[in-house]
Chains A and B, each alone.
Chain A
């Protein structure tokens, strides 16, 4: 047995090591945010939000087409994915006790782990290949496939937080189960479910890989759902790997706007979830 002092020393040293590790883990976040502000903030101006891309060499290009494109594609993803995700989540919480529920839960978690690029291929074979052209619709559907499992699991958790006494009260008053579930349980969990949507949207809004060969990207302003459409992360990618300094400058600016959007969504969602959990 080692001496007491030695053991204490090892204990203190390892405590110090964990402090250091935590600091080191946070360092990249600070470095990335700092760099984005340093390199991007100067380029986020009025033109950035109101103009679309211009040919290389011309001044005053912006990201308007990409921002609008992202809003449309994410909107499509929500239109397709939110009903499925929420319904699956309610199913898991209300009827998911048995073997079938277990399977669905497992599939949701596995689907959540499928690489987003593979989901892009899936959307390509189902929507791009048969229609013969790239489209925002295909991009939206690809994002919906990513959104559904996340939303289903958050919704499930939020519905489970609803106290059983509320369910029992409604049933005792003679409500059938479906009305109890929809008008009492789901409504009580409503804020939580909306939060789940925010989490899922924050996650898919930054996705690039599934859009590469579905929405494809577009240098021009377009709102056609059946044609190629630009998106913020896609545009950042194209500009980042491109050869021009002007593109790089705009990529930083686009990335800054993207991260502000995504971090704001996830921070709001996190705060609401935390409050809910403590409340329950």
Chain B
């Protein structure tokens, strides 16, 4: 046995740091860390700042129109820049109507696609088909508009309507003469554009359903379809509703494609075959050529209405989707 040198046992001769001093030394953060975290925080703060600024700018610039027209702005349907009278009812109705048409067409299809991609498709087919559907979301809006003008509208007018007229023309929503640019065309274009969003988010929601649920359904003797319909869809219901609302948010704010095919007329009509107008389309067409300050202010006000609707719609959708797939970036990655 050899003697252990005293210096090994007590490396630090002299006064020992107290427990408190050691604790403080451990807790000390490098100054670089403080700077780093502060800089990142400042950048991150820019996002809420921009959101608040957008809201403020819209509010301030819309104020002249609010104080002049008040609540009647939302219920009147005269839009006369020359006489300075503005009522946004046709814009609001047109926006909601075209989005509704889009959802009626897109939701069943998108849901069926999501079910196909998670339940029924053979494995090798899933990734390619999912990519193709997601690519629909990558196509620029203006290209949908171009295609809408030169392909979809002639198709609807010359091939769909002559055949469908006999069966549908008794319905009030299909009354009147069909010239082409219409709420119907806008809704169909929108349905193609929002389908990939709804399908992608629903798919992620369905993927987040625990396998045990699926297995339990099958073990009870349900067919695969019965499992989907009675177990999986109810389990993901909140998320699927979230996906639909997310799609609605997209449809409400979509600008170019709708502007190019909806006909741009300030009129409220129940018929899908008549031209309509949306908030986004009115801003796109009139903003840079506003004839007076009040005209501009009215456009700011409809912009503010659109902003409010989409904020609420998106917030609700996110909360619903997050509840199903907590913490993951569901929705963001798909979009």
Contacts and interface: CB of A to CB of B under 8 A. Distances in A.
A271 B224 CA distance: 31
User: A15, A108, A207: which has the most chain B beta carbons within 10 Å?
Assistant: A15
Nearest to A203: B138
A103 interface: yes
B228 to A, nearest CB: 8
Contacts of A153: 329, 332-333
B149 A21 contact: no
Nearest to A178: B36
Contact of A117 (B45, B48, B280): B280
A103 B254 CA distance: 26
Given A17-B112, A119-B54, A240 B120 contact: no
Contacts of B205: none
Contacts of B117: 22
A110 interface: yes
B178 interface: no
A83 B300 CA distance: 30
Interface stretch (B10-18, B85-93, B159-167, B245-253): B245-253
Contacts of B47: 88, 104, 107-108, 111, 148-149, 152
A62 to B, nearest CB: 18
Interface string A242-264: 00000010011001001100110
Contact of B225 (A10, A121, A251): A10
Contacts of A263: 135, 138-139
A92 B332 contact: no
A17 B111 CA distance: 11
B132 to A, nearest CB: 5
B188 to A, nearest CB: 10
Contacts of B110: 25
Interface string B149-170: 1110000000000000000000
A112 B335 CA distance: 9
A241 interface: yes
Interface stretch (B1-9, B68-76, B283-291): B283-291
B19 interface: no
A181 B116 CA distance: 41
B287 A212 contact: yes
Given A15-B120, A32-B144, A255-B142, A110 B314 contact: yes
B315 A117 contact: no
A118 B143 contact: no
Point out which of B33, B112, B250, B311 has the most chain A C-beta atoms below 10 A from its C-beta.
B112
A104 to B, nearest CB: 5
B192 interface: yes
B112 A114 contact: no
Contacts of B143: 32, 36, 206, 236, 255, 258-259
Nearest to A122: B54
Contacts, number: 282
B51 A209 contact: no
A176 B29 CA distance: 8
Interface size class of B (residues with CB under 8 A): 35 or more
A38 to B, nearest CB: 10
B184 interface: no
A262 B224 contact: no
Interface centre among A88, A90, A126, A156 (most CB of B within 10 A): A88
Interface in A190-240: 202-203, 205-209, 212-213, 216, 233, 236-237, 240
A183 B54 CA distance: 36
Name the residue in B44, B58, B254, B329 with the highest tally of chain A Cβ atoms < 10 Å from its Cβ: B44
Contacts of A31: 147, 151
B80 interface: no
Interface in B301-328: 303, 306-307, 310-311, 313-315, 317-318
B150 A15 contact: no
Contact of B40 (A87, A114, A116, A240): A87
Given A19-B116, A87-B39, A107-B47, A178 B329 contact: no
Given A11-B225, A212-B284, 19 more contacts: A18-B113, A25-B109, A31-B151, A88-B43, A111-B50, A112-B314, A114-B307, A117-B284, A134-B288, A176-B30, A206-B142, A209-B284, A216-B288, A237-B142, A240-B142, A240-B150, A241-B149, A255-B143, A259-B139
14 contacts: A8-B223, A22-B112, A35-B147, A35-B150, A113-B313, A153-B332, A178-B32, A178-B35, A236-B143, A255-B142, A255-B143, A258-B143, A263-B139, A267-B131
